[in-house]
Amino acid sequence: MPDTIHVINGPNLNLLGTREPEVYGRATLADVEEACREACERHGLELVFRQSNHEGELVTFLQEARGSLGVVLNAAAYTHTSIALADAIKAAGLNVVEVHLSNVFAREAFRHHSYISPVARGVICGLGIDGYRLAIGALAPRRAM
Ligand code: DQA
């Protein structure tokens, strides 16, 4: 369990590839999972990759990540609305990197506020699928070469 990374994706990210490709790119959620699996393998880590359109289910996923090495969380629209997700991160004592495919700060004002950022270790946005790879690299233990 300590060598496991959980990648948790929120609402509408199951539609990646066809959803507003000019904003989110052409990569599908399966492509994101593949990129995460490769990154975890490179670091010798286990991957749990999940997606839900339901806030409560995302809370459960976060609780189930308790004791893991860390969580890469793209909470999608719940980023901007969910006190429940922020509370779950604190309650489970998670090491979270918040990720967004798009640069939320170059978009509508309602996307500029995040309930996740204050309880996250770091935030990556605007780098597309690479953001997930970078987040896994940041959570991976530094091993002596
Ligand atoms: C998103 C940005 C959010 O504002 C939006 O609601 C999403 C996706 C991103 O990955 O860029 O659904 O989290």
Could you report the per-residue pLDDT of 12-25, keeping only the tens digit for each? 999 999 999 999 99
Identify the residue whose C-alpha is closest to ligand 1 atom 8.
76
Ligand 1: nearest atom to the Cα of 80: 4
CA 126 – ligand 1 centroid, Å: 10
Of 110, 119, 111, 67, the residue nearest 88 (C-alpha): 119
Domain 4-64+73-139 falls under CATH 3.40.50.9100: yes
Is 48's pLDDT higher than 90?
yes
| Domain coordinates in residue numbering, the chain | 4-64+73-139
Q: Where are the alpha helices (DSSP H) in the chain?
A: 21-24, 29-42, 55-64, 83-92, 130-139
Ligand 1: nearest atom to the Cα of 24: 11
Identify the residue whose C-alpha is closest to ligand 1 atom 2.
76
Q: For position 142, what pLDDT does the model report?
A: 80
Roughly what angle, to the nearest 10 degrees, separates helices 130-139 and 29-42? 30
Is 41's pLDDT higher than 90?
yes
Task: Give first-to-last CA distance, the chain, whole Å.
Answer: 24
Tell me if the pTM is above 0.85.
Answer: yes
The residues annotated with a catalytic role in the active site are 24, 100
- C-alpha span between 79 and 99 (Å, rounded): 10
Ligand 1: nearest atom to the Cα of 107: 4
